[in-house]
Structure 1
Amino acid sequence: MQERVIVGIDVGTTKICVLVGELDRDGKLNIVGVGTCPSQGLRRGVVVNIEETVTSIAAALDRAERLSGKKIVSAYVGITGSHIDSENSKGFVAISPSHRDIEQNDISRAFEVAQAIAIPANREIIHVIPRGYVVDGQEDIKNPIGMSGFRLEVETHIITGAVSAIHNLIKCVHKAHVEIEDLVLEPLASGEAVLADGETDLGVVLVDIGGGTTDIAVYTDGAIWQTVALPLGGNQITNDIAIGLRLPFGVAEELKVTYGHCDPSLIDEDDMIDLSQFMPDCNDLVPRKLLAEIIQARVEELFAMVHEEVKKSGYDGLLPAGIVLTGGTAELPGIDELAGQILDLPARIGSPLGLHGLADSISRPAYATAVGLLLWGLRHTSLMIEEDEPEDEGSPDVLSRFGRWLRAFIP
């Protein structure tokens, strides 16, 4: 096995994060480069200024290249935003001639039927993910290839996004001189990094709280069931602090990160914050309990919205593995206890684990999406290493990528 380089680019509202992973000869993924840069030109996960976004991506890429010593030419790129939508769809095909062994082509035909849904002209499919297969009425089949049958059914989870948002993100990455291996919905990437197989089998809701959006992914029976992106995140908490305490946004963010807490009852009435450490010309004191009360109010609102989405999924009260929180805002103390109370579920904080190389610097919830992009790419890289046959140069890139991606989901 040759050494392969995999790159993930998390284009977030508050920061751009580029991770460089190297797959060694033993199949172990080592983190060899990290590059982060504050985001400019994005709002709630969507590009609103192309030139500013390109500059931010280029700066993060440069830092990752300098640290890793690698030239980055392609990457797996995360996408999110309130324009994201999803639905579940089924596809049925007959196996002809009757009762022969099911082949890859039969699965591809079933997928084509499943994704033949009415999609508005201003939307585009990002993912078509198999949830499971049914052969002649037999359910819960993960890999039907080689089985005999008359009829094959596939249940899929289809994720779509606004054409303009997708193409503007692609344009920004290309302007930074990087080709896109695949666009990956960010909560799916985060799930790769922080969820265990047992949790997805039992039923779990992943909540990735970024700066501009909160991404929700509900998993049941080992597969994705629902994905939603809410237009609310850590920046809204910071904005509340800035308004409530009459502070500049940057100072409010530092206050949140340094002294923030989601449970005011745990803060002493006499615990005061000296603002001079953030603003040298200001000698005011702020009660830390007041800061926690502002944070708690917005976080409660956020989890009430998450609870509504879980109810819409039809799995409220039916997710034994509970709620896993990740993303930068998940680092707020007390946020897991508050989430557990509002959703009436066990809750934990999800951090990327099992990393090698520069793991210490990125083993935090804020890096879950970027790490997940590498793990998503690792499955595809492993497949491409195993495949000796040359690619069909006449087939469109998107189709060849879809073929490799589809095979990655079949054990």
Structure 2
Amino acid sequence: MRRSSVNHPRRQGNPIPQRTYQPRKGEGLLPGARARQDVIAALDVGSTKVCVLVAELSEESEVDITGYGVAPSHGMRRGVVVDVEGTVRAICEAVEKAEHMADVRVRSVTLGVAGTHVQSFNNRGVIAIAREDKDITEEDVARALEAARVLTIPPDRDIIHVRPREFIVDGFDGIRDPVGMVGNRLEVEANIVTGSTTSIENILRCVARADLEVEGTVLSGLASGEAVLHPAERELGVVVADIGGGTTDVAIFDRGGLWHAAVIPVGGDHITNDLAVGLRTPLAQAEKVKIQDGVALVDLAPADEFVEIPDVGGSRTHRVGKRALAEIIQPRVEEIFDLIVKEIKKSGREGMLPGGIVVTGGTALLRGLDEVGQYETGLPVRVGYPQGQAGLADLVRNPGCSCAVGLVHFAAQNLLAKEEAGAAEPLSGLFAGIFGKVKNWFKQSY
């Protein structure tokens, strides 16, 4: 197999950062009957921060957050790895913080996948029910979904998700679960999400170099929706917009499932850059001003309040009105919502999303952002906070943690499914291809 041309710290005498934490002796079992291997972890590698959550499943199968770690991300840009070593160090730092808090050793994670390379489209799978009884089984559903995967995609892309939108039995549509029904022909309308093989392989290598295994991958927008949406919103039709640092993850849900997904190459960092240029101040100071004094809507900014802004050199300061800050911020926020509207039109669901838009991500905390969104889109807009978890819920009840919380929920669902099946299912799709290559690469390299 072709060796990677990436410069590796081990080969150059610069050691890979090692996680130093070890669980206490005798930590084999949690209180109760659950074993330590039932601990689950989520890893969200963003453009501005890396977030890790550790959780346990209670006896009632509820998610109990036990560990939380976050670290600045310096190796990602728009969801794509641009600095391998920087990304590995950020992952190690965040994981070690979560390990200390949870008092466990994290060995595997469920990973969020995002970036401007992500694309979404729809396809149909059709199979015949040839048995005499015509009963539709779970195996038939799996065959229909597999048939939906049979399509031509470029060799540099891999399928991340195949999510059923609806099933059709003998021409009757709108069916969510056809198992147990009778029919001659089963069809599935599926949403297929693909990503760049290279981009996904790079982030998987970073995770592997941080001494972690990947249990599964989940589209970041889908994970955010899992954390912030109410069931009724999924049914009616709703948009989730996770506004991160470098990108905005858009996921459109309807009839209970994923209908369309996209990644917009504009996020909170662009607001920060606008402020840095407009105020002639360093990026770090612009970010601080955005968080402390920024308002997304000019009408909400007081005209008689001012902020002291240091110059680029730091030797002098100048006063800027808070209204002037809002005049810089609002156009970029309007652009983000205009791009969200374009994705809604592209999905074909324009005028059919009464649930409106749920904005989440760190930038969603910008005051007045929801009001700008309502004006620009004509849809109801609310800020989404993670829900459905216990334990350290107060630490992660923040829009910036929505993706990580959603990943934990997906990891919990996967663990419960494995327990019900009695054994771990083999890797398929994305993992069978990319992650297998990564493991082989590590074996050959070290």
TM-score where L is the length of structure 2: 0.86
Q: How far did 1:26 drift?
A: 2.3
Measure how far apart 1:104 and its partner are.
Answer: 2.2
CA distances 1:21-73 after superposition (whole Å, capped 9, x unpaired): 11122222111000000001100111011111011101101111011111000
What is the CA deviation profile of residues 193-250 of structure 1, one whole-angstrom value per residue up to 9, with x for unaligned ones? 0001100110111111000101111111111111010111000000000000001001
Distance 1:28 1:222 in 2: 21
- 1:100 to partner: Cα distance: 2.2
Q: Equivalences for 1:9-408 in 2 at 5 Å?
A: 9-275=43-309, 281-388=315-422, 390-391=423-424, 396-398=426-428
CA distance in 1, matches of 2:240, 2:313: 37
Q: How far apart, CA to CA, are the structure 2 residues paired with 1:278 and 1:357?
A: 43
Query: Shift of residue 152 of structure 1?
Result: 0.7
Distance 1:263 1:400 in 2: 42
Tell me by how many angstroms 1:315 deviates.
Answer: 1.6
Q: Which amino acid aligns with 1:309?
A: E
Contact 2:234 2:257 in 1 (8 A): yes
SS class of match (1:337): helix
Structure 1 residues 391 and 76: CA distance shift in structure 2, 3 A? closer
> What amino acid maps onto 1:297 in structure 2?
P
Inter-partner Cα distance in structure 2 for 1:30 and 1:281: 49
Structure 1 residue identity aligned to 2:244:
G
Q: What is the aligned partner in structure 1 of residue 17 from structure 2?
A: none
> Offset at 1:391?
4.9
1:374 Cα offset (Å): 0.3
SS in 2 for 1:275: strand
Q: Equivalent residue of 1:397, what SS?
A: coil
Q: Would the aligned equivalents of 2:291 and 2:366 in 1 still touch at CA under 8 Å?
A: yes
Distance in 2 (CA, whole Å) between partners of 1:112 and 1:276 is 58
Q: Distance in 1 between matches of 2:187 and 2:323?
A: 56
Hey, what's the Cα distance between the residues in 2 that align with 1:189 and 1:96?
A: 37
- Name the SS of the counterpart of 2:320 in structure 1: strand
Q: For 1:268 and 1:304, how far apart are their aligned partners in 2?
A: 26
Instruction: Work out whether residues 98 and 150 of structure 1, in 8 Å CA contact, stay in contact via their aligned partners in 2.
Output: no
Q: Give the 3-state SS of the residue equivalent to 1:140 in structure 2.
A: strand
Separation in structure 2 between the aligned mates of residue 38 and residue 400 of structure 1, nearest angstrom: 28
Q: Give the % identical residues.
A: 43
Is contact 2:272–2:287 with CA below 8 Å preserved after alignment? yes
CA contact (8 A) 2:280 2:312 kept: no
Consecutive unaligned residues in structure 2, runs of 5 or more = 1-32, 433-446
Aligned length: 398
Once the two structures are superposed, what CA deviation does each residue of 1:299-325 show, in whole Å capped at 9, x if it has no partner?
Answer: 111111111111111222221111100
| Superposition RMSD in Å | 1.9
Q: For the Cα contact (< 8 Å) 1:251–1:278, is it kept in 2?
A: no
- Structure 1: which amino acid aligns with 2:339? M
Counterpart residue number, 1:407 = none
What's 1:408 paired with?
none
8 Å contact 1:133–1:139 — kept in the other structure? yes
Residue range with higher mean Cα deviation, 140-149 or 257-266: 140-149
Aligned partner letter, 2:428: V
Per-residue CA deviation, residues 243-287 of structure 1 (Å, 9 max, x unaligned), is 000010010000001101011122222210123699975342121
Do the aligned residues in 1 keep the contact of 2:311 with 2:317 (CA within 8 Å)? Answer: no
Task: Check whether the contact 1:98–1:149 (CA below 8 A) recurs between aligned residues.
Answer: no
Deviations 1:134-167 (A, max 9, x none): 1112222222222221111111110000010010
Q: For residues 142 and 419 of structure 2, what CA distance do their matches in structure 1 show?
A: 22
Cα–Cα, structure 1 residues 173 and 281, in superposed 2: closer, same or farther, change >3 Å?
same
Distance 1:215 1:399 in 2: 22
CA contact (8 A) 1:99 1:149 kept: no
Counterparts of 1:258 and 1:361 in 2: how far apart (Å)?
20
**Structure 1 position 2 matched with structure 2 position 34:** yes
d(CA) in 2 for partners of 1:377, 1:131: 22
Cα separation, 2, equivalents of 1:244 and 1:41: 26
- TM-score w.r.t. structure 1 length? 0.93
* 8 A contact 2:364–2:399 mirrored in 1: yes
Matched letter for residue 141 of structure 2: I
Q: 2: distance between equivalents of 1:277 and 1:340?
A: 35
Give the SS at the match of 1:369.
helix
1:332-388 Cα shifts (integer Å, max 9, x gaps): 000001101111001100001232111111101110000000011111111122223
Letter in 2 for 1:244: G
- Paired with 2:310 and 2:346, the residues of 1 have a C-alpha distance of 47
Matched to 2:86, the amino acid is E
Give the unaligned 5+ runs of structure 1.
403-411
Match of 1:405 in 2: none
Shift of 1:110: 1.2
Letter in 1 for 2:197: V
